[in-house]
Structure 1
Amino acid sequence: MNRPLVQSPGGVTLAGGGPVSATDLRRCLARAPMAVAADGGADRLLAHGVMPEAVIGDMDSLSEAARARIPAARLHPIAEQESTDFDKALRSIRAPFILATGFAGGRIDHGLAAMNALLRHAGRACILVGPKDLAFAAPPRPIALALRPGDTVSLFPLARVGGRSEGLHWPIAGLDFAPDGVIGTSNRATGRRVELAFDRPGMVVMVPRGRLDATIRALTEGGG
């Protein structure tokens, strides 16, 4: 792609147009201080007193009131309709990691589209912050998550994929995962470390929302 619209040496908090709680926004901004909005996510940020550094999308959801408050130089319209605003934002941001809030917990179709975007950008360290858990696309390298015994670790394939694990109650080696076949939801950690590796892109991993810092470390350490 061309030069990214947003560049940050630290994490970026990306807000979508779905529900964004004050608690989630505070948690994300504490770890990723630069606030960016995907289209109507700007309204969510402004409602919490946060001015976005940039707004990226087709601008069909951004309210006129928000548009009037945000400096024009911070608005980055991308007119094409072949991708979602979340996808447009992901491909336009360069940062060590992205915390995405307001993309899960609302409409089911929006949530599915967000998962699609995660997979399309599986090489990016992007974490969806949901009401009860976190979701991310497994990167194209092994990862190690610092969890607690009994923590739920759910695996949902969006493509045919195989892998291996250490520290899961039900090991995954030898399983042929597929969205219309074997899935791996409601697995759990047996100890304080879970290791995962997959043979190709396609797996979405979900862990408890209380493991945000551990997930950030797993996706950024050694992964660039």
Structure 2
Amino acid sequence: MFEKSISDYLQKHGYPHLQLKAALFDMDGVLFNSMPYHADAWHKVMERHGLHLSREEAYLHEGRTGASTINIVYQRQFGKDASPELIEGIYAEKSKEFNSHPEPERMPGAWETLQKVKAAGITPVLVTGSGQHSLLDRLTHNFPGMFDRSHMVTAFDVKYGKPNPEPYLMGLEKAGVQAHEAIVVENAPIGVQAGVAAGIFTIAVNTGPLDGQVLLDAGANLLFPSMQALCDNWQELLDALKK
């Protein structure tokens, strides 16, 4: 089932095989079912500032740094960059709005997938565009023993952010592995673009309202309809990756 996708990837990059040592996970929409809250917070705060970003469009920007999302919308409406002060203010408001929601649940299948990853001797690495301390702190509580602090890439670490490959290249660096020794698990189009641009085998899990084709068009090597589906197929996938 997965052999063709793997063989296409190897052929494209000229690798003889994949040697899986690390799995690079996005956070929002992959580990936590937090995207509906993010989309709602972005929409409300942007409207407050006379900026138009629908909840649906928020999913297309998922994975970008907050500053980048604000600037895209601001440039579209006013034809110029937002000031650093305005960006800071809007992002602080957005974080406050997000935190007013109940705690996001773990994404169904995420904990079980991480347990399987760990059991296979593969290092889990977090690669998120989030700079919200609340969610990062929650990782330790919801996924105990899974992510070492030295294996996390957040908005505080990167200069460019997704869809630039920088976050995933940094993830490889932190794990001490090469591109063909890792996989990326993403749910957002620009996150998929970042993983692909970093030369890593990229798996998309469609946990939001977007059409799955959007994720395939972004370059995903494989598409699953949910984290649970990835979890259920993990052993078969692992066997195919090891071939």
Structure with the larger RCO, 1 or 2 (CA within 8 Å, 6+ apart): 2
Q: Same fold (TM over 0.5)?
A: no
Give me the TM-score of the superposition, normalised by structure 1: 0.37
Normalized per residue, the structure richer in helix is 2
Give me the TM-score of the superposition, normalised by structure 2: 0.34
